[in-house]
Amino acid sequence: MLDGKVALVTGAGRGIGKQIALTLAEKGATVIVNFNGSKEKAQETVQEIEAKGGKAQMYQCDVSDMTSCGEMIAELIKAYGRIDILVNNAGITRDNLLMRMSEEEFDEVIRVNLKGCFNTMKHVSRYMLKQKGGRIINISSVTGLIGNAGQANYCASKAGVIGLTKSAARELGSRGITVNAIAPGFIETEMTAVLSEKLKETMTEQTLLKRTGSAKEVAAVAAFLASEDASYITGQVISVDGGMAL
């Protein structure tokens, strides 16, 4: 279903990004597995894809760096001639209460989670406009919709991703490019593994389904948004949160 498509997934060495990379590759896309620090994990992701007969390449790039993003995308265009799907998944947390949050904690999260999306979208959209088509999928969060105590930086970045998504959808729609966001709830990854058992229980209790979600459940929606079946969907935020934000 994604045969012949080229997909760039940021932060794809582990967690949700890895699962998105595996799922897009299973559906036939050639996947660029972007990573920042986790080289070995990115290598493993590429190996897993290749072991199943898929095509993948790893690429180191800090998405918060505008110049590096431009270089990465220019090199990929040179190698593959096109980028059909961009999944902005890279993200970090630096949790603290508002009054205790340092300027660095605030800026770092905004730089990676929000500016990182802008950096890749700015460069990729140039080529997608020429191609007259493309799919951009940004991973936001339920917390970007409803906020979360102790995560003012993270929630601001994820709410920003929604504004960025909707604006880009308006700018790029007439050229056949769709831009959507996914707002996951509580998904079991390394990011949430550090939370206390009590907080995990409280968050699970807030879902209507009374359970946590899996990276596979997020990846399935990303694959749908990247597919031909989603060709008339743009500017949307799809929650994958077990009903947490209802």
Q: How far is the CB of 3 from ligand NAP (least distance, A)?
A: 26
Q: How far is the CB of 167 from ligand NAP (least distance, A)?
A: 19
* Residues binding ligand NAP (CB under 6 A): 10-11, 13-17, 34-38, 62-64, 89-92, 112, 139, 141, 184, 186-187, 189-192
In the bound complex, what is the minimum distance in angstroms from residue 107's beta carbon to ligand NAP? Answer: 13
Alpha-carbon 148 to chain mean position: 20
Distance CA 89, CA 8 (A): 10
Instruction: Output the smallest distance, CB 176 to ligand NAP, in A.
Output: 26
Write out the two tokens for 174: 């007439």
Q: Residue 245 burial (CB < 10 Å; 0-12/13-18/19+)?
A: middle
59, 80, 127, 154: which is the annotated catalytic residue?
154
Q: Which is nearer to ligand NAP, 54 or 116 (CB)?
A: 116
* 186 secondary structure, DSSP code: S
For ligand NAP, which is the closer residue by CB, 132 or 216?
216
Please say which residue, 88 or 125, places its beta carbon nearer to ligand NAP: 88
Calculate the dihedral angle through the C-alpha atoms of 221, 177, 131, 84, rounding to the nearest 10 degrees. Answer: -10
Q: Helices (DSSP H) in the chain: which residue ranges?
A: 15-26, 39-51, 66-80, 103-109, 116-131, 142-146, 152-172, 190-193, 197-206, 215-226
Q: What are phi and psi of 135, to 5 degrees?
A: -130, 125
CB of 81 to ligand NAP, least distance (A): 24
For residues 37 and 81, which CB has a smaller minimum distance to ligand NAP in the complex? 37
154 is catalytic: yes
Rounded-to-integer distance, Cα 201 and Cα 214, Å: 16
Question: Cβ closer to ligand NAP: 131 or 148?
Answer: 148
Contact between 112 and 104 under an 8 Å Cβ cutoff? The reply is no
Catalytic residue positions, numbered? 154
